[in-house]
Structure 1
Amino acid sequence: MAIVKPFQCVRPDERYAGQVAALPYDVYSRKEACQVTAANPKSFLNIDRPETQFSDDVDTYDDRVYEKAGEMLKSWIEDGTLKKDCLEAYYIYELTMNGRRQTGIVACSSIDDYVNGVIKKHENTREEKEVDRIRHVDTTDAQTGPIFLAYRSNEAVNEIVNLITDTEPLYDFVAEDGISHRVWRIHDRDRIALIEEAFRTIPSTYIADGHHRAASAVKVGLKRRVENPGYTGEEPFNYFLSVLFPHDQLMIMPYNRVVKDLNGLSKDDFLQKVGQSFEVACMGDEAFAPLNKGTFGMYLDRKWYCLKVFNSLQSTDPVKGLDVSILQDNLLGPVLGIEDPRTDKRIDFIGGIRGLKELEKRCSQDMTVAFSMYPTSTPELFDVADAGLLMPPKSTWFEPKLRSGLFIHLLK
């Protein structure tokens, strides 16, 4: 069963919620982060990316940078920008994008569930990215960015959420990108017990987004256990901040690909090789997004093509059957020579939120060929995680992004 606990939340004063709420730290370059924080001194990005408080000659990973994050967090609590709720509570977090809503429960998940596989993963993590967040969590004594978890929709949980969202919200604001955010608090003991009981019937939760934040939070928790050999398991460091959404509310967008060159091939030779694994149809000038699994858009020399993989190359394997795997195994690898998309500098990945015009733009600048993808589905994600397997890199792009700074979990 999944352990999902209420917690004493540090959160923005209602006057500042819209200003404090920030996109995840890792969607910005350092230059972009500095622009955001200069324009909005109350953006939580100031704390999530504390290098923005220093000149460019100070390294992003300097000890002083992490210490500054801890100082700012303490200062924002002291000056009333942030406040700590007196009671343990769950929170309901609703995001609405283009008229489509998704509503999750903000809670703390167990690091033991992560270690034991109750919380299931579908993606590898990179050590250098983990180290940054480990130092940030450890120095600030706080988890500041929630991990995006999914679970198979549960009627008992849905009923409680629907009851709460019919009441007046704690926060209600629209961010600069047009996405609306509403938050409710559940501190009634009876309703808390109902949520805890409902999640005891849910065997697994799944990391949708935030694999590095989750791994970092867990490693800090395990480190604190070593430092506190008399721990009971109830200390805050035994849990990590999460928002849990029912699977049927999630939207996964495609994660498109662009490649720098044709691996030494002429256009005609390239198309001939592609035709050995795919039906190829020229679609002309109009951007093409696939509408079905096993179909891909390709932009080359100012023309769009529809690629449909041969049936003989389809697979029932949870990983090999993914569209991102089909493209990698039958085109990117054997034709374009992209053997390891994690490290090859000739390939780049573009989230579906950027649109197909971004693919055309890149092909007019620094790339030669682009591929529009059919999005990975939530059931496919669950199938891979349930099988204990991992997806290829850049398989999923979730929208809308959870904001940081609305919910903070202190470790002591």
Structure 2
Amino acid sequence: MAKIIPFKAVRPTRDKVTLVASRSYQSYTQAELEARMDYNPFSFLHIVNPGYKYHKDIKGKDRYTLVKNRYLEFKEDGIFIQDEKPSYYIYKIVNRDGLTFSGIIAAAGTEDYQTDVIKKHEDTIEYRENIFKDYLKTVGFNAEPVLLTYPDNKIVANIISEIQKERSEYEFTTTYRDTHYLWKLDDKDSIRTISLEFEKMKTIYIADGHHRSASSVLLAEQLKSENKKHTGNEPYNYFMSFLIPESELKIHEFNRLVKDLNGLSKETFLIKLDAIFRIENRGNQLYEPSKKHHFSMYLDGDFYSLFLRKNNDAFKTALDALDTQILYKKVLEPILGISDLRNDTRIAYSHGKNDMATIKSKVDSGEFAVGFGLVAITVKELKAIADEGLTMPPKSTYIEPKLRSGVTIYEF
């Protein structure tokens, strides 16, 4: 039973939301950050980069405190307001490719994460969990929701559809040409209906935001131990989430680039691959795979198709059958000598919104020796991995939608 509750969001006034909303600050170059903060005093980037005010790079606990201060200033200046009633927030994104994502921003329970009602498919790094936990404890809010996905539900879909017939509270288009809409749902009957429908769901899945959710769980445990009157209903027992139906989740592949052939000649490398794949040289024809266990490769000016040989497809788990795992276990580790996919500097990743032409340009430049293209992982595969308690290799999925920070804020 998934416990998904409404909350009183802190959010920008209607006239300033397009100025406040930002991408995750880590996605900006330093030049982009400075340009946006130079010309937009309302950007949420001013909150998460408080050192800008002092022309200084501030880190650690000092930064966390200043983030909190900048946030309070935005509230004091009336840039942020807080809703009076607990609400669900119906959110829709229409991206520049014409894809539409509609779902509900709400608070999800840390206990559901701990009891495997909310399931994950990626490993998290402990030191990153603890750093973000300390950050959350100081600032006291979530500003970017964790992306969760749930089985398609007609009752929830109908409520979402009906409210979207009304005028939205927000409607704004980003410089990426994605249009965002938000509706506030505070009707008690609709809230109760949605809540009950989620309670019927045995499992929902983390699509994006594994470290954010894990850090929220750590913080809840710490605050619970410090609170002698803990009841389980405190705001710190939840984290802000954007829940969308499985049918609307868009998963792109992450392609692989490797800087060298691990001391092998081109001919020796191809011979080693031949034991694993049926290989066809496609020349300069840009080739992208179209089905599971098919890969593309760009090497020394030529594209190749790689089809996994049938004697290599004895899979015992959902992880074994995953294309990113196959490439890792059959090629990257044993042949190219890459065992640490997170930290080895010889490997890089290019998400599937950049096609094989991007791979070709990077190899042709001499920066990399070889590139591999994969087919996107499906929602079914993602769920199977999570259900078996397994985790995917790093950079297995690039998932949409990508939300903006600062549109809704959950305080705890």
Residue identity opposite 1:16 in structure 2: K
1:278–1:310: 8 Å Cα contact kept in structure 2? Answer: yes
Deviations 1:75-104 (A, max 9, x none): 111111111111100001111121111111
TM-score using structure 2 length = 0.95
Could you say what secondary structure the match of 1:320 adopts?
A: coil
1:96 aligns with one of 94, 97, 122: 94
1:24–1:401: 8 Å Cα contact kept in structure 2? Answer: no
Cα pair distance change 1:137/1:29, threshold 3 Å: farther
Deviations 1:18-40 (A, max 9, x none): 12111223434556544443343
Q: How far apart, in 1, do the equivalents of 2:91 and 2:71 lie?
A: 22
1:33–1:52: 8 Å Cα contact kept in structure 2? Answer: no
TM-score using structure 1 length = 0.95
Q: How does 1:12-411 map to 2 (within 5 A)?
A: 12-28=12-28, 32-55=32-55, 58-59=57-58, 61-97=59-95, 98-314=97-313, 315=315, 317-363=317-363, 364-411=365-412
Q: How far apart, in 2, do the equivalents of 1:250 and 1:295 lie?
A: 23
User: What 5-or-longer segments of structure 2 have no aligned partner?
Assistant: none
Q: Which moved more, 1:312-321 or 1:372-381?
A: 312-321
Question: Shift of residue 325 of structure 1?
Answer: 0.7
Q: How far apart, in 2, do the equivalents of 1:53 and 1:288 lie?
A: 49
2:249–2:401: 8 Å Cα contact kept in structure 1? Answer: no
Q: How far apart, in 1, do the equivalents of 2:247 and 2:100 lie?
A: 11
Q: How far apart, in 1, do the equivalents of 2:38 and 2:191 lie?
A: 40
Cα pair distance change 1:195/1:62, threshold 3 Å: same
Deviations 1:262-310 (A, max 9, x none): 0001111111111110111122223322111111111111221111111
Question: Shift of residue 236 of structure 1?
Answer: 0.7
Q: How far apart, in 2, do the equivalents of 1:5 and 1:201 lie?
A: 14
Identity %: 36
Structure 1 runs (4+) deviating above 6 angstroms are: none
Residue identity opposite 1:10 in structure 2: V
1:285–1:304: 8 Å Cα contact kept in structure 2? Answer: yes
Q: How many residues align?
A: 409
Q: CA RMSD in A?
A: 1.6
2:256–2:347: 8 Å Cα contact kept in structure 1? Answer: yes
Deviations 1:200-230 (A, max 9, x none): 1111111100001111111112211112121
Could you say what secondary structure the match of 2:353 adopts?
A: helix
Question: Shift of residue 376 of structure 1?
Answer: 0.7
2:61–2:135: 8 Å Cα contact kept in structure 1? Answer: no
2:145–2:241: 8 Å Cα contact kept in structure 1? Answer: yes
1:319–1:384: 8 Å Cα contact kept in structure 2? Answer: yes
Residue identity opposite 2:13 in structure 1: D
